[in-house]
Amino acid sequence: MNVPQNYKLSPSDLTFLYDKCKHCFVLKVRHGIAQPSIPLPAIFTRIAALQKDYFSGKRTEDVCSQLPPGVVKYGEQRVRSRTLELPGCTSTCYLAGRFDIVAELDDGSFALLDFKTGSPSDEKSEMYARQLQAYAVALENPAPNELRLSPISALGLLYFTPDEYGQLAQSRQNLTGELKWVSIQRDDTTFFTFLKDVVALLDGPLPERQPDSCDWCAFRAKTATLQMTRDGRTGGPSGRATGPVCPKCNGPMQLKKGKYGSFWSCMSFPACKGTRDA
């Protein structure tokens, strides 16, 4: 039986990695094996940073007429929730990440806003909703000594859609476009049901690789097949490695050579020291 864990869940991973590849998600969260980092194009990060600096301290009505009235007060701060216990789960989890901006509204509540560059769509808004839900829960249920903002009464996306380029001077250019507010409906019931499914997945066996939909799984499958060919071993269907699972954490194992010959070692070493005889 697995030892109960307290999983650290990133709002970004819950938004992107979980839906993209369950195998890679479990590798990262449970076993500490993350995909190689591929940073966002610097221009998007720069635009978001300029927006945060510009809007800080401004009335929301001056930012976008569709926003509820208030003042932008909190920009890009880290949050961490208390430990969350979920019905039917032996393990627990907590949420940790960094939001874009929060406005304090005139009625005493708060609005959580996220900057996006591009064209808004229902599909994108639905995808980003999970990320905003996670930040809202973390802000209302913080760990000791962490930032608390409650209640969060509004969630939404501020989309900047560039549509015109101009030249102010020979060495100065500008990019203008529409700024649109997309309100996100908060749904804690659905979100906590989702968290329960996430923890159940993390407590279970490692999901199969998804080489048909995940580039990193495809890379691992191809390199594993190459390594097995070089070592004179065989693989399973579609070139999947047939190595055992770790007896301690149920994670993947890799073949290593030691003083007394070959053995299987947990890929989470040194966090997990599980081994098997080769």
More confident residue, 58 or 233: 58
**Could you tell me how many residues make up the chain?**
278
pLDDT at 260 over 90: no
- Among 39-43, 126-130, 209-213, 227-231, which is the least confidently predicted range? 227-231
Mean pLDDT of 240-245: 60
Task: Report the pLDDT value the prediction gives residue 182, as an integer from 0 to 100.
Answer: 94
Q: Assess contact for 25 and 18: CB atoms under 8 A.
A: yes
Q: Which two tokens stand for residue 160?
A: 């900047």
Backbone angles phi, psi at 170, to 5 degrees: -60, -30
Q: What is the pLDDT of residues 17-49, one digit of tens each?
A: 999 999 999 999 999 998 887 766 778 888 888
46-92 pLDDT, tens digit each: 888 888 899 999 999 998 888 899 999 998 899 999 999 999 999 99
Q: What is the pLDDT of residues 102-142, one digit of tens each?
A: 999 999 999 999 999 888 888 888 889 999 999 999 999 99
pLDDT at residue number 251: 76
Confidence at 236, pLDDT banded by 50, 70, 90? very low
- Burial category of 138 from C-beta neighbours within 10 Å (exposed 0-12, middle 13-18, buried 19 and up): buried
Q: What integer pLDDT is reported at residue 228 of this predicted model? A: 60
**CA 145-202-217 angle, 5° bins:** 115
List C-alpha distances in Å: 8 to 26, 56, 92, 141, 142: 11, 30, 9, 15, 14
With contact defined as beta carbons under 8 Å apart, do 257 and 277 qualify?
A: no
Mean pLDDT highest for which of 58-72, 212-226, 240-254?
A: 58-72
Peptide bond into 270 cis (omega under 30): yes
Instruction: State which amino acid sits at residue 102.
Output: V
In the chain, % of residues over pLDDT 90: 55
* Cis status of the peptide bond prior to 151, with omega within 30 of 0: yes
Between 32-36, 158-162, 225-229, the lowest mean confidence (pLDDT) is in 225-229
What mean pLDDT do residues 247-253 have? Answer: 78
Band of the pLDDT at 241, cuts 50, 70, 90?
very low
Tokens representing 125 are: 């808004």
